Amino acid sequence: METNKLFTWENKMMVKLLALIEVVGGLNGVISSLLYLLPNASENKLSIIIILNLYILVCIAGILLYKKRLLGYKLSFIVNALQVIYFLFNGILYYFASLVSFYLMINYEASLVFELEFGGKASIGYIDSNATEVGLNIIPIIIILILFALYNERKKVI
């Protein structure tokens, strides 16, 4: 059997780093949701609760990934996939990012916009806007690709 990096020390450390990023990002989202979003929500408490649960799911994914559980990989794929898309269409707004986001967006004026933010952000709901914007968060795309490669390496070892 060839030992071409069959889940090497570097791969294990990368999994732990991704898990740590998810746990920190999820905790940051939970804390900021409880401190800032929930107290200021008047009518939109349902979307705040959904966002809070998404951040909790990010934490759980990170913990399970750190423990090298298969469910950790699967949840990590899911929570990162949920962070890829940004859209605003006729007032319907969705974006979700934990810890770091780097959006590549196109707005209604056909302008290309790059947006880098730290600390995570999320919104699900309706706003008073006729604008149209679509975007991709590059960070979770990179994480999904890394997770996929690490997951495939993990399968070779089992």
Q: CA-to-CA distance for 87 and 136, rounded, in angstroms?
A: 9
Least confident of 5-9, 18-22, 37-41, 44-48: 5-9
Contacts of the segment 147-151: beta carbons below 8 A, 24+ positions apart: 147/18, 147/73, 147/76, 147/77, 147/80, 148/77, 150/11, 150/14, 150/15, 150/18, 150/73, 151/73
140 found inside a domain: yes
Please report, for the chain, how many H helices and E strands are present, in that order. 5, 6
124 found inside a domain: yes
Helix, strand or coil, per DSSP, at residue 143: helix
Q: CA-to-CA distance for 55 and 59, rounded, in angstroms?
A: 6
| Residues in Cβ contact with 57 at an 8 Å cutoff, skipping those fewer than 6 apart | 26, 75, 78, 79
pLDDT at residue 127, as a whole number: 87
pLDDT at residue 157, as a whole number: 55
Q: CA-to-CA distance for 48 and 37, rounded, in angstroms?
A: 7
1 found inside a domain: no
Q: Which amino acid is at 115?
A: E
Q: CA-to-CA distance for 115 and 101, rounded, in angstroms?
A: 8
Q: 54: which 2 tokens? A: 């998404």
Q: What is the mean pLDDT of the chain?
A: 87
Full residue range of the structural domain in which residue 151 is found:
9-157
2 found inside a domain: no
117 found inside a domain: yes
pLDDT digits (tens, 9 = 90+) for 66-121: 998 999 999 999 999 999 999 999 899 999 999 899 999 998 777 888 989 988 88
Q: CA-to-CA distance for 58 and 36, rounded, in angstroms?
A: 19
106 found inside a domain: yes
Q: How many domains does the chain have?
A: 1
47 found inside a domain: yes
